[in-house]
Amino acid sequence: MAQAEEARDRLIAAHPGLAVELVPVTASGDKVQDRPLAEIGGKALWTKELDAWLLAGEIDFAVHSLKDVETLRPAEIAIAAILPREDVRDVLVGAKSLADLPPGARIGTSAPRRAALALHARPDCQVVGFRGNVQTRLAKLEAGEADVTLLALAGLNRLGNSQVGTPLNPREWLPAPGQGAIAIECRAPLRQAQGDRDFELYALLAAIDDLPSRQAVEAERGLLAALGGNCHSPIAVFTEALGGKLAMRAALLSPDGAEMVEARLSFAPDDPAGPRALAAQLLGQASPAIRAHFDPPEEA
């Protein structure tokens, strides 16, 4: 809801007098909290209800946390805007660093990337499943279900909890693809013409698109697509705009964190070949234990 409110506020600022109604939708990902997403349908659990409402015309656009949106989307749906990207860092809650944890400490997370990175850094620790929104996970931590947990700083900032936990260096603890980005999706316009309602809605939303944020997250999603990554795949990536180019650093891990490969590449922001080349480099270095969790398309 905080993300939807931000999208509404930005739209009204760009189009004074515009009326925007928020329509809450409870996604399957919110309803099922006792199992990892990878076991119950993956990222589609965050989008399928909204997709159905969008295509049925019950809503005009949908607001998503981009890291929770599948890489391949229906052709009838378009990402009309990416809002200015928030802080991409993860936050460690419950300790100042992973190094400070005692042997055998319990790390609460259900994210394959976070679990693999944590076990790579601290193979002596154990990962326990943690699902739910920010408040739910903080309550589980307070109840002693784990010794520490990991949260996205972007979510904490949007909820006014920016003082919670210790932010981790994104060049050492690489974030998730798309982390910190809000996407606004609408029906893909069939006709690029005035008078077509879907085209006009797309144009209205595109007015709040942030080009640098879009370029970075589209490159990260391009990397995901070239890797054939899914909600089971431990992949981490950090992208910076440097000297007119995107500098991307990415890592693939085995789920148990025992193995990791890392590579980096710089390329033009609008060059789709860059993420594909980095994906090929990573897969070329990856062991069978890592490659088993990726299914790249033949052309990658």
Give pLDDT tens digits for 55-92: 999 999 999 999 989 998 999 999 999 999 999 999 99
Residue 285 lies in a domain: yes
For residues 50, 73, 225, 249, the Cα torsion angle rounded to the nearest 10 degrees is -40
Q: Is residue 176 part of a domain?
A: no
Is 68 marked active-site? yes
Asked if residue 283 is part of any domain, the answer here is yes
Mean pLDDT computed over 182-198: 85
pLDDT score at 16: 97
Catalytic position from the list 34, 51, 60, 68: 68
Domain contains 300: no
Count of structural domains within the chain = 3
pTM of the model: 0.90
> What is the rounded average pLDDT of the residues 23-39?
61
Q: Is residue 121 very low, low, confident or very high in pLDDT (cuts 50, 70, 90)? A: very high
Query: For residue range 267-281, what is the model confidence (pLDDT) as tens digits?
Result: 999 999 999 999 999
DSSP reduced 3-state for 167: strand
**CATH for 163:** 3.40.190.10
Residue 9 resides in a domain: yes
| CB distance 161 to 151 below 8 Å | no
Confidence band of 231 (pLDDT split at 50, 70, 90): confident
Phi, psi of 245 (to 5 degrees): -125, 165
Lowest mean pLDDT among 38-42, 104-108, 237-241, 256-260: 38-42
Domain extent for 62:
2-85+181-209
One domain, residues 81 and 185 = yes
* Sheet of 77-82, strands arranged across: 61-65, 182-187, 77-82
Same-domain status, 52 and 100? no
